Structure 1
Amino acid sequence: MAEYKAPLRDIRFVMNEVFEADKIWASLPALQETVDPETADAILEEAAKMIEGMVAPINRSGDEEGCQWNEGAVTTPSGFKEAYQTYADGGWVGLTGNQEMGAMGMPKMLSSQVEEMTMAANFSFGLYPMLTVGACLSINAHATEELKQAYLPNMYAGTWAGSMCLTEPHSGTDLGIIRTRAEDNGDGSYSVTGTKIFITGGEHDLTENIIHLVLAKLPDAPAGPRGISLFLVPKIKVNADGSLGEGNNVSCGSIEHKMGIKGSATCVMNFDGSTGYLVGELNKGLACMFTMMNYERLGVGIQGLGVGEASYQSAIEYARDRIQGRAATGPVQPEKAADPILVHADVRRMLLNMKSTTEGGRAFSSYVAKQLDLVKFSDDNEVVARAEAMVALLTPVAKAFMSDMGLNNTIDGQQVFGGHGYIREWGQEQLVRDARIAQIYEGTNGVQALDLMGRKTVANGGEWTRMFLDEVREAAPGAPEEFRAPLLDACDRLQSVTDWVLDRAANDPNEIGAASVEYLHLFGYTAYAYMWALMATKAQQKLDEGTQEPDFYQAKLVTARYFYQRLLPRNLSLEASIQSGAAPLYALADELF
């Protein structure tokens, strides 16, 4: 297995050249005193050094050792505690947090690159800080000043961790039927009782306290999702002076034995009259939780991106070293017994699929992160409104399409290794197992597709999709000529399919669900085509200027051509599948399945 190397050159290309992050940050008053190109570059360099040196080396051992549960206590794999301490000491948990509470206040476009490195190096490890960052987002946005002062500094510092507790044994996607209850204690606190499952980082030995965000209902709350409230429930109570007090009747009943991410503790959490504090307004808990969900769902897409990058790095190294057979056009290494497998068409196909979708995904994740930054930091109401629409529209695409591509890429990477890919010591089988969860949690990809098609498209008559496509069409004329027509054709196809679904859904609501998964992929390939047009534009510009790195930019153009010629045509079959309608899905009687 190749040692993970942070793809800093490509990260800098996307951030600094394609999206010109420095100009974006300079245009936002809230960031002008926080980040500049030199600071951002130093952060990337330090993150890469720390992640390559401490986080990546414990990935395989963490998978093999896994987390251990013993009478409610969870022990993480060897090396995790030390690596987490280093991670926390470096300020990485608080990279994007509220500066007034001791964090760094950096933009998401920058932190998303650090997230990718972390997830690529060690998916299981990366989940611990990710959940803490997400919990901090909701606390900072919705909790009282008193709660923020009491909890955020230690969470940003990595001294305390966070978790989010939504799912129950009978209640996953349908949170409206949760049974966890909260009762008002009459002193500003609540007594929270219930069981939550699949809680990432619900219990571990990395920090001295864990702050749980728990969805619960008061006895007189409205039925369904309108009656859900959000509570901050510490594992250990916090005294008025900030010191830790007694336990809070929070216990871990067990941990799950999983297919992958074995170094991440996935817990059953029991709250037995635990003391909690309301975050936000009563019965508005889902809205408070969704403050973090856009960030978290982009983060899950970045998990897919990261494991795909890790798989590609190993696969290309193996393809260069492994010799088997001869090139179809004759030996390229006649002095050796065989040629490297990189000469074979199928291997090149898999590697280029991985390369084009990983680099396209890196650009797309940065683009979505840019929208989040505009929402958070811009003082222009029109800019904020448009960015909010783009975040809402593109978040399900980022989560689902990027995680789908991530699994595809780890499978391709495993396949490049042949039989060795099925063997543990080469590392590819772990990446396949780890990647699979990203399609399932934080809202399954089928639910993401339904959200995109139903709530984000049909519900507003396709307004946000047209907004996005208008931007793409505006950019198309600036791209190298070879990419203009196919990009505009992809836009027309997505618009045509959108209009078709809108028309059919008016008479048959089944059409929304029937089209949703294929529609999300159609959208994803079109969005990646836009990203590749932007990257090709910059690459061609650099070549025309006489760059000192012609190979780097030429590789961008060649990879862009591959994506347009070999992957973008998948939109044709997706269109045909969508326009077959809902009838084939509902023609078979239930009893005949």
Structure 2
Amino acid sequence: MPVYMAPLREYRFLLHETFNMSQYAALPGFRDAPLDVVDAILDEAAKLSEEVLQPLNQIGDREGCKLENGVVTTPKGFREAYKTLVDGGWPALVADPAFGGQGLPNALGVIFNEMVSSANMAFGMYPGLSHGAYSALLHHGTEEQKKTYLPKLVSGEWTGTMNLTEPHCGTDLGLLRTKAVPQADGSYRITGTKIFISAGEHDLADNILHLVLARVEGAPQGIKGISLFLVPKYLLKDDGSLGARNGVSCGAIENKMGIHGNATCVLNYDEATGFLVGEENKGMRAMFTMMNEARLGVGLQGLSQSEAAYQNAAAYAKERLQGRSLTGPKAADKPADPILVHPDVRRMLLNAKAFNEGARALLVWTALQGDLSHASDDAIVREFADDMMALLTPVVKAHLTDRGFANAVEAQQVYGGHGYIEENGLAQFVRDARIAMIYEGANGIQALDLVGRKLAANGGRAVFAFFKRVDDFLAEAGKTEKLAPFVVALSAARKDLEAATMWFMENALQNPDNAGAGSTDYLHLFGVTAVTFMWSLMAKAALEKLDGAAEDKSFYETKLKTGLFYVERVAPETALYLARIRIGAAPLMAFGADEF
């Protein structure tokens, strides 16, 4: 039976010691998050995740969601768990107080979401998607729409979805066919079919607010003619209560590889009543507000499955007896040694452990930038924060999900044949993790977005700002002898990243295939560099504690050893990524179609 324990000590180390969140105490949102409040929130979130959600994870995987007579039911226990979530006020954690939210920093929100996703990824998608819908309406909805719909989304009484994909188009949304016909009362009639709609229909909430991309009749072709519409499952009466069922229905639940506890639906719109969100033909701008938030959430899912898989594999490796240590028996009183003694088992476990801690730091740091982009009263701080959010969103989404899936597979490998048996839970972590590499923009698309759009934005301002932040750290850290391994590794990674960036600037314009051929390698080069930076920040914080009067010295000593593993074993990968990038597109494009 798999288990999960929220890494509370890790969260506190990041918030209180590495990033010193209290330095922002005077800013909006942070004012209401003093250390004692943050710690209490973390404790309660851990209880919810460990005691309520994790026990339902395998149940949801086995039972899945069921569609009967147009009604979707979620697995046993999900409705009660969702009520517990809502009663605890968790959907309101980081939402705007003007609509019933608590207004706390999003850095706390991503930590809460990591716990929920680690405990039960399929369940966590229901409130996760609702928050994305909330964000889209908050930034692009009319005042009347906000007043009508946001309080219910914030409370969790209603949930939300995002409807992009159609049967004939995936990432290329310019091909969508769902149409919107204007009505005399200002509403629109929405007709079309959407697929792969997570949490598209369920029995957890009284109403579901679908955000739907469609094309108004006569609008331009391609993405320039796409608009965004709010299509409620139930229309509202004048007093705000639920009225008639709208013309949207679930045609099927997808039979998929993982996340069985989440209802991934085919939704059919048959002249459903919809309301324009934002301006006509500006739907992609509004939807990207939702998608960018979702992409950070998906990166979080990659980390969460890596963490859950690692915790179980590490516990198994300490207990499973098989073979003897290469340097002689370590458990002479037993018939064999625990498999943890074997270097290759340790390699797999430490790959996950070092990644999890570094990736978590990157996720929290990025979320803090998002908070500062809104809350800071310093224009320079806001600009840097905005740039980092834009630059790092594809990196967090793709790097964390690729590595998270790989770590789940290696954790399954630690179990040997027992990892292939469903009851032990590792197979579910692998299956659930796999989707995170695909949805909200497949990882290859994230890489193209990074190389093709994010690097060039504002004349490369964001990537050079990242370089400067790293350089400032290196200049200071170089004065501390004990940080030398981290300084050396970060300097080398930063040098490789800059060399790759300049190579694209020199070679991508003359042959765009060069950018496409090297984009995934560049994204992971950036990811490893960013995580190496995070490890360097954590090492500095840990050394400061060890040089002081820290009580929990073993925690900081282990933190440093884990960081050394990452910078010595993983960070050198940047040289390989750079070498691949410099080869260019020729080896890939040399083949004719008939040679595949």
- The two structures share one fold, judged by TM-score above 0.5: yes
Give how far 1:466 is off: 1.6
Give how far 1:278 is off: 1.0
Give how far 1:458 is off: 4.1
2:260 is aligned with 1:262: yes
Letter in 1 for 2:3: E
Q: Secondary structure at the match of 2:258?
A: coil
Partner of 1:128: 126
Whether the 8 Å contact between 2:30 and 2:105 is mirrored in structure 1 is no
Give how far 1:475 is off: 0.8
1:455 to 430, 453, 456: 453
Moved more, 572-581 or 347-356: 572-581
Moved more, 460-469 or 557-566: 460-469
Letter in 2 for 1:339: D
* CA–CA separation in structure 2 for the residues paired with 1:368 and 1:360: 12
Partner of 2:306: 308
Superimposed CA distance per residue, residues 506-551 of structure 1 (whole angstroms, 9 cap, x where no aligned partner)? 2111111011000001000000100000000011111111311111
2:500 is aligned with 1:497: yes
Distance 1:413 1:592, change over 3 A: same
Partner of 2:281: 283
* CA–CA separation in structure 1 for the residues paired with 2:322 and 2:582: 44
Letter in 2 for 1:426: N
* CA–CA separation in structure 2 for the residues paired with 1:483 and 1:349: 20
* CA–CA separation in structure 2 for the residues paired with 1:188 and 1:42: 47
Partner of 1:393: 391
* CA–CA separation in structure 2 for the residues paired with 1:394 and 1:192: 35
Give how far 1:404 is off: 0.7
Superimposed CA distance per residue, residues 360-386 of structure 1 (whole angstroms, 9 cap, x where no aligned partner)? 110000011011111222233322222
Partner of 1:4: 4
Which consecutive unaligned segments of at least 5 residues does structure 1 have?
A: none
Q: Secondary structure at the match of 2:510?
A: coil
Partner of 2:111: 113
Whether the 8 Å contact between 1:476 and 1:533 is mirrored in structure 2 is no
Any residues of structure 2 matched to 1:216-227 within 5 Å, and which? Answer: 216-227=214-225
Letter in 2 for 1:567: V
2:71 is aligned with 1:73: yes
Give how far 1:294 is off: 2.0
Whether the 8 Å contact between 1:97 and 1:106 is mirrored in structure 2 is yes
Any residues of structure 2 matched to 1:79-228 within 5 Å, and which? Answer: 79-228=77-226
Any residues of structure 2 matched to 1:408-423 within 5 Å, and which? Answer: 408-423=406-421
1:573 to 573, 576, 585: 576
Partner of 1:14: 14
Distance 1:32 1:398, change over 3 A: closer
Whether the 8 Å contact between 2:489 and 2:572 is mirrored in structure 1 is no
Give how far 1:32 is off: 4.7
1:544 to 522, 543, 547: 547
* CA–CA separation in structure 1 for the residues paired with 2:56 and 2:297: 21
Q: RMSD of the TM alignment (CA)?
A: 1.1
Give how far 1:482 is off: 2.2
Give how far 1:34 is off: 2.8
* CA–CA separation in structure 1 for the residues paired with 2:364 and 2:217: 43
Q: Secondary structure at the match of 1:507?
A: coil
1:521 to 509, 520, 524: 524
Give how far 1:96 is off: 1.3
Q: Secondary structure at the match of 2:58?
A: helix
* CA–CA separation in structure 2 for the residues paired with 1:173 and 1:373: 29
* CA–CA separation in structure 1 for the residues paired with 2:417 and 2:271: 53
Percent identity of paired positions between Structure 1 and Structure 2: 52
* CA–CA separation in structure 2 for the residues paired with 1:241 and 1:461: 51
Letter in 2 for 1:520: L
Partner of 1:556: 559
Moved more, 207-216 or 451-460: 451-460
Whether the 8 Å contact between 1:88 and 1:158 is mirrored in structure 2 is yes
Distance 1:564 1:286, change over 3 A: same
* CA–CA separation in structure 2 for the residues paired with 1:277 and 1:507: 45
Letter in 1 for 2:497: L
Moved more, 149-158 or 407-416: 149-158
Q: Secondary structure at the match of 2:101?
A: coil
Whether the 8 Å contact between 1:462 and 1:498 is mirrored in structure 2 is no
Partner of 2:46: 48
Whether the 8 Å contact between 1:461 and 1:502 is mirrored in structure 2 is no
Distance 1:587 1:143, change over 3 A: same
Letter in 1 for 2:484: E
TM-score (norm 2): 0.98
Moved more, 454-463 or 509-518: 454-463
Which consecutive unaligned segments of at least 5 residues does structure 2 have?
A: 478-482
Superimposed CA distance per residue, residues 190-229 of structure 1 (whole angstroms, 9 cap, x where no aligned partner)? 1111111000011001011100001111112122111111
Whether the 8 Å contact between 2:485 and 2:567 is mirrored in structure 1 is no
Q: Secondary structure at the match of 1:6?
A: coil
Whether the 8 Å contact between 1:301 and 1:438 is mirrored in structure 2 is yes
Whether the 8 Å contact between 1:2 and 1:313 is mirrored in structure 2 is no
Any residues of structure 2 matched to 1:242-391 within 5 Å, and which? Answer: 242-391=240-389
* CA–CA separation in structure 2 for the residues paired with 1:215 and 1:434: 27
* CA–CA separation in structure 2 for the residues paired with 1:144 and 1:67: 34
Letter in 1 for 2:522: Y
Partner of 1:464: 462
* CA–CA separation in structure 1 for the residues paired with 2:572 and 2:458: 28
Give how far 1:299 is off: 0.5
Distance 1:110 1:476, change over 3 A: same
Distance 1:142 1:458, change over 3 A: closer
* CA–CA separation in structure 2 for the residues paired with 1:5 and 1:445: 29
Q: Secondary structure at the match of 2:401?
A: helix
Superimposed CA distance per residue, residues 93-132 of structure 1 (whole angstroms, 9 cap, x where no aligned partner)? 1211111111111111011000000000001000000000
Q: Secondary structure at the match of 2:584?
A: coil
Whether the 8 Å contact between 2:195 and 2:267 is mirrored in structure 1 is yes
Partner of 1:485: 488
* CA–CA separation in structure 2 for the residues paired with 1:291 and 1:36: 29
Whether the 8 Å contact between 1:477 and 1:484 is mirrored in structure 2 is no
Give how far 1:284 is off: 0.9
* CA–CA separation in structure 1 for the residues paired with 2:83 and 2:402: 32
Whether the 8 Å contact between 2:470 and 2:533 is mirrored in structure 1 is yes
Whether the 8 Å contact between 1:301 and 1:399 is mirrored in structure 2 is yes
Letter in 2 for 1:236: Y
Distance 1:573 1:33, change over 3 A: closer
* CA–CA separation in structure 2 for the residues paired with 1:219 and 1:392: 33
Give how far 1:460 is off: 5.0
Whether the 8 Å contact between 2:489 and 2:568 is mirrored in structure 1 is no
Give how far 1:413 is off: 0.6
Letter in 2 for 1:196: K
* CA–CA separation in structure 2 for the residues paired with 1:337 and 1:476: 50
Whether the 8 Å contact between 2:166 and 2:195 is mirrored in structure 1 is yes
Partner of 1:588: 591
Count of matched residue pairs = 591
Give how far 1:259 is off: 0.3
* CA–CA separation in structure 1 for the residues paired with 2:446 and 2:248: 32
Letter in 2 for 1:4: Y
TM-score (norm 1): 0.98
* CA–CA separation in structure 2 for the residues paired with 1:400 and 1:267: 24
Whether the 8 Å contact between 1:193 and 1:271 is mirrored in structure 2 is yes
Letter in 2 for 1:518: D
* CA–CA separation in structure 1 for the residues paired with 2:513 and 2:86: 48
